Homo-oligomer: A and B are copies of this chain.
Amino acid sequence: MFHYCLTVSYVGTRYLGWQIQPESYGKTIQGEINLALQKISKSTNIKTLGSGRTDTGVHAMGQVVKATIPLEINPRNLLKAMNSHLPEDIRVLEASLSSDEFIPTVHAKSKEYHYRFSTNEIHPPFAEHLITHYPYDIDLEAMKAACQIFIGEHDFTNFFVEGTPVSSFVREIFECEIIEVPANELFPSYYVFRVVGSGFLKQMVRLMVGAIWRVGRGRVTLEELQNSLSPMKQEKLGAVAPGHGLYLMRVNY
């Protein structure tokens, strides 16, 4: 068997997320990638492993995927073949040889996520599936201060939605900020909540955004946010922000 490392970008809108599901449930990113690999290698004996799951509607700029197939092929040609078989909303951006030992989940040193949202009164049609509409007056300075509180090692029990059991709720956040993106050719101005961390629990980023939004509207204080990162009390500070604003940007190894 031969191992390849792929950097994959996708628009999550049409998919049930990364993880392959029974066909009757609907399409997934992994399902589409597996299908392309099966066609290219003319074999069903293929295996893919992503750096992590992305949920329904969530996008990726740089998902990292290890593909194991019974075909020796120049990575450059694998990339071209995959992009000719994959639907246009999934693209392989880079391909290289991978070692047998590489495990995209375990070996990731950090991941970067962006969450895009706009507070403009009218949400432009082009932003429908790409930027979340949050048409409220927000206190940007309070939200920026909230980002600072997330930085460091914390217990994220309150930023986790039940799913696959995990051994620890402690994660380290290396960078966390809000970037103001000016209007461009296609979109009016919007905000990016940018976070880099050692790893993320299920729906953790979207719960962080939900909490930050409530801080921005004066419904949650910075002190309450601080307290929610201690394991003393179990309480979600806000809703899970919608999936379509979230982007897995990069996985660092």
Report chain B residues within 8 Å CB of A128: 11, 88-89
Task: Report the Cα distance A114→B184, complex, angstroms.
Answer: 14
A128 to B88, CA, bound (A): 6
Count this chain's copies in the assembly.
Answer: 2
Stretch of A117-125, A136-144, A226-234 that contacts chain B: A117-125
Partner of A123, one of B91, B185, B187: B91
Q: B126 contacts A130, CB within 8 Å?
A: yes
> Which residue of chain B has the shortest Cβ distance to A186 in the bound complex?
B130
* Chain B residues with CB under 8 A of A185: 114, 116, 181, 192
Question: A67-118: which have CB < 8 Å to B?
Answer: 83, 88-93, 114, 116
A9: interface (CB < 8 Å) = yes
Chain B residues with CB under 8 A of A90 = 125
CB distance from A134 to the nearest CB of B (A): 14
- Shortest C-beta distance, A143 to chain B (Å), equals 18
Complex contacts, A114 vs chain B, CB 8 Å: 185
> Can you name 28 A-B residue pairings with CB atoms under 8 Å?
A9-B124, A9-B126, A10-B125, A11-B125, A11-B128, A59-B126, A83-B122, A88-B123, A88-B128, A89-B125, A89-B128, A90-B125, A91-B122, A91-B123, A91-B124, A91-B125, A92-B122, A93-B122, A114-B185, A116-B185, A126-B130, A130-B186, A181-B184, A181-B185, A184-B184, A185-B192, A186-B186, A186-B187
Q: Please name 9 further chain A to chain B contacts, defined as beta carbons within 8 Å, in addition to the given A11-B128, A130-B186, A184-B184, sorted by A numbering.
A: A9-B125, A9-B126, A89-B128, A91-B122, A91-B124, A114-B185, A116-B185, A185-B192, A186-B187
